[in-house]
């Protein structure tokens, strides 16, 4: 089993990188799915030089998906994309600095959307950014995060603005959201969580996830419990960048071809950490590589012939909900993220569309479910109002 390791760099087919000759980073492979979480410290921290460094690193690393944090300039992000013809990208509309880069020929995008945008600035100063995609005809969800920084290391449950308490709330909300909307889905929850998973239980903001070992695993736990030179944030030093996976992916992680690494890109540079910190970031990327079994669970409902979707989604004024074709009367319910019923509609047999104005809904995320007497369980989708 290869779950955790420090980065080992091999050198092949040299190319010139700012006066240095290096080769591809030995991480990605054709049959595996690679997901990287990378805080780029208000990209571009050193202007055009940063764009050139990051583009060269991505070309050498060649991962399928990069979940980025601290993208401070959307124009610079677009400039980076122009240097990476194999990649497309998405920048969070809220301007919270979250973004994705993904390989055009390997990743099929279903949707991007932000969650917890309305009334959740305490736990989430930057709304999490969801990427819904297919890889090798299998369905995946990534939730990209950048949680509140700082604090004194002590969790104060009586202070709503205590930094540790805000991170605890965020982690618990991400857990609840995953269980509500992504049951039996292949989910990665990634990003700069600004906290350590090895903290004492009393002050550990991840404790409710760590307690749920049957359903969640920090794939980078071996890095966190390992030696400081391999942590993601050497300046402290600490390990703050994590990749949490749901139990649907546990078997994939057990494969010998699968690995989780803190990528020591600074080892490639003549100037080492100082050069990397000046031109790239104060965080190292953390990456997971998974060899997926043929029987990996579930594709999404729209890929299996069950049509329950909303168009447009996300939306502003109105949307059309497409329903499964059914010869029985059905029931449609709309609930908020706390599970409270907001509206219940009776759907006549053979009705396949429902167009609705949503002035009564505030901006945010809602769960829409449809059922009838022939179904063993409701079909559900996420509805996002901007």
What is the secondary structure of 17-73 as a DSSP string? Answer: ETTEEE---TT--TTEEEEEEEEEEEE-TTTHHHHHHHHHHHHHH--SEEEEEEE--
Q: What is the pLDDT of residue 302?
A: 44
For 26-38, how does the pLDDT look when each residue is reduced to its tens digit (9 = 90+)?
899 999 999 999 9
Per-residue pLDDT tens for 244-260?
999 999 999 999 999 99
pLDDT in tens, 173-230: 999 999 888 888 999 999 999 999 999 999 999 999 999 999 999 999 999 999 999 9
pLDDT at 7: 45
Can you give the pTM of this predicted structure? 0.81
Cα–Cα distance measured from residue 82 to residue 199, given in angstroms and rounded to the nearest whole number: 41
Task: Rounding to the nearest 10 degrees, give the CA dihedral for residues 276, 36, 235, 203.
Answer: 170
- Distance, in Å, from the CA atom of 219 to the CA atom of 288, rounded to the nearest integer, reads 8
Q: Rounded distance, CA 195 to CA 243, Å?
A: 13
Which domains, and CATH codes, for the chain?
4-291 (3.60.10.10), 301-385 (2.60.40.3080)
Q: What is the pLDDT of residue 23?
A: 55
Residue 214, judged by CB atoms within 10 A of its CB (0-12, 13-18, 19+), counts as: exposed
Predicted confidence (pLDDT) at residue 11 exceeds the cutoff of 70 = no
Nearest to 282 by CA among 339, 221, 241, 222: 241
Radius of gyration of the chain (CA): 21
- Characterise 301 by phi-psi region: left (phi > 0), alpha (psi -120 to 50), beta (else): alpha
């Amino acid at each position: 089993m290869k779950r955790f390791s420090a980065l080992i760099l091999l050198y092949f087919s040299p190319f010139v990188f700012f006066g240095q000759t290096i080769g591809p980073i030995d991480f990605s492979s054709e049959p595996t799915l690679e997901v990287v979480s990378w805080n780029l410290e208000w990209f571009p921290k050193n202007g055009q030089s940063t764009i050139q460094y990051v583009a060269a690193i991505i070309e050498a690393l060649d991962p399928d998906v990069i979940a980025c944090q601290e993208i401070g300039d959307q124009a610079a992000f677009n400039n980076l994309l122009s240097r990476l013809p194999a990649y497309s990208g998405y920048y969070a509309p809220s301007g919270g600095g979250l973004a994705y880069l993904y390989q055009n020929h390997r990743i099929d995008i279903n949707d991007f959307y932000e969650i917890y945008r309305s009334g959740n600035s305490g736990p989430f100063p930057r709304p999490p950014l969801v990427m819904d995609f297919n890889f090798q005809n299998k369905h995946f969800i990534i939730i990209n995060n950048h949680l509140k920084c700082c604090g004194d290391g002590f969790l104060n449950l009586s202070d709503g603005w205590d930094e540790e308490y805000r991170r605890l709330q965020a982690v618990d909300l991400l857990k609840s959201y995953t269980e509500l909307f992504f049951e039996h889905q292949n989910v990665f929850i990634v990003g700069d969580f600004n906290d350590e998973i090895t903290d004492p239980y009393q002050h550990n903001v991840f404790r409710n996830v760590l307690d749920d070992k049957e359903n969640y695993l920090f794939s980078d736990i071996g890095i966190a419990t390992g030696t400081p030179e391999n942590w993601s944030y050497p300046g402290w030093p600490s390990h703050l960048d994590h990749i949490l996976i749901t139990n649907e992916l546990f078997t994939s992680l057990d494969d010998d071809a699968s690995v989780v690494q803190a990528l020591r890109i600074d080892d490639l540079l003549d100037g080492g950490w100082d050069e990397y910190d000046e031109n790239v970031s104060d965080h190292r990327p953390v990456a997971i590589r998974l060899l997926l079994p043929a029987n990996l669970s579930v594709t999404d409902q729209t890929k299996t012939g069950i049509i329950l979707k909303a168009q447009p989604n996300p939306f502003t004024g109105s949307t059309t909900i497409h329903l499964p074709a059914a010869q029985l009367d059905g029931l449609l319910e709309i609930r908020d993220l706390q599970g409270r019923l907001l509206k219940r509609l009776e759907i006549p047999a053979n009705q396949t569309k429902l167009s609705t104005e949503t002035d009564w809904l505030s901006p945010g995320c809602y769960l829409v479910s449809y059922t009838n007497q022939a179904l063993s369980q409701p079909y559900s989708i996420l509805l996002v109002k901007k």
